[in-house]
């Protein structure tokens, strides 16, 4: 796909992987709409990287529909959805609570699913489009204390696989991306950005992968890809 001039909706673009990906895509000439919940942080990031801010909580169907409507009214079309916004909850199996499942699934599964549905309708009509769902290494492998998060990312991977089969005949590509650990503010005390570490991925590494998936010639697409750090000791 030609990145220059393309119209991209990237959820959770105000920090971490989303911010780095938005910054790279803007630098390549795309019009990138980023979403988030924290208005001040979203506005600041958008200004810093040259993206368009759209305040939209993944837990609100109405806000998601309004976000897409705003893009179609302003830019006339959408080329790419990047479902990146995500949260975590971690703890032992005997401490599982319905509220933890609800909170995480509302964002990582239901929000991504509803936005995917809205965008899929637009992409089917245009017979063109690309959806990238940001999963996790937890999309393919469970781990100690990971019940809620891993279940949500397995579910997102299921959505990616179903959408791929359904949308491929409409020339719509679906890519599921699994990062391993990335040094962002994800699940950090006070949502503070982490220091870079030589044996962990940076948000910029994920941005590079996202760009590579999008830049591929339109006749092909990558259904699923994982990115690991090389020396995780």
- Whether 149 sits among the annotated catalytic residues: the reply is yes
How far apart are CB 224 and ligand NAP at their closest, in Å? 14
Contact (Cβ atoms closer than 8 angstroms) between residue 111 and residue 119: no
Residue among 128 and 205 whose Cβ is closer to ligand NAP? 205
Q: How many Cα atoms occupy the beta-carbon half-sphere of 140 within 13 Å?
A: 15
Residue among 41 and 126 whose Cβ is closer to ligand NAP? 41
Residue among 59 and 66 whose Cβ is closer to ligand NAP? 59
How far apart are CB 2 and ligand NAP at their closest, in Å? 26
How far apart are CB 72 and ligand NAP at their closest, in Å? 20
Active-site annotation holder among 110, 149, 170, 187: 149
Cβ-count burial of 133 within 10 angstroms (0-12 exposed, 13-18 middle, 19+ buried)?
buried
Helical pair 112-126 and 147-167, crossing angle rounded to 10 deg: 10
Binding footprint of ligand NAP on the chain (CB under 6 A): 11-18, 35-38, 41, 57-59, 84-87, 107, 134, 136, 179, 181-182, 184-186
Query: How far are the Cα atoms of 46, 89, 106, 118 from residue 98, in angstroms, in the given order?
Result: 35, 12, 12, 27
Residue among 66 and 171 whose Cβ is closer to ligand NAP? 66
Cα 217 from chain centre: 21
Q: What is the DSSP letter of 138?
A: G
How many other CB atoms are there within 10 angstroms of residue 137's CB atom? 17
Tokens of 207: 């941005």
How far apart are CB 57 and ligand NAP at their closest, in Å? 4
Among all residues, which ones are annotated catalytic? 149
């Amino acid at each position: 796909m030609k990145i220059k001039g393309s119209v991209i909706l990237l959820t959770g673009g105000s920090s971490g992987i989303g911010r780095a990906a938005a910054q790279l895509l803007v630098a390549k000439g795309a019009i990138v709409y980023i979403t988030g919940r924290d208005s001040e942080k979203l506005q600041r990031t958008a200004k810093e990287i040259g993206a368009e801010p759209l305040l939209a909580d993944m837990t609100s169907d109405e806000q998601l529909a309004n976000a897409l409507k705003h893009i179609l009214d302003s830019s006339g079309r959408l080329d790419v959805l990047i479902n990146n916004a995500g949260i975590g909850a971690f703890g032992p199996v005997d401490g599982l609570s319905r509220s933890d499942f609800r909170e995480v699934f509302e964002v990582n599964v239901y929000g991504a699913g509803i936005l995917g549905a809205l965008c899929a309708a637009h992409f089917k009509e245009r017979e063109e489009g690309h959806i990238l769902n940001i999963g996790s290494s937890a999309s393919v492998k469970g781990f100690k204390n990971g019940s809620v998060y891993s279940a949500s990312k397995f579910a997102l991977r299921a959505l990616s696989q179903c959408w791929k089969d359904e949308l491929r005949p409409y020339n719509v590509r679906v890519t599921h991306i699994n990062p391993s650990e990335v040094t962002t503010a994800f699940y950090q005390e006070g949502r503070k950005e982490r220091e870079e570490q030589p044996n962990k991925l940076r948000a910029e590494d994920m941005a590079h992968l996202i760009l590579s998936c999008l830049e591929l010639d339109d006749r092909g697409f990558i259904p699923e890809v994982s990115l690991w750090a090389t020396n995780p000791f």
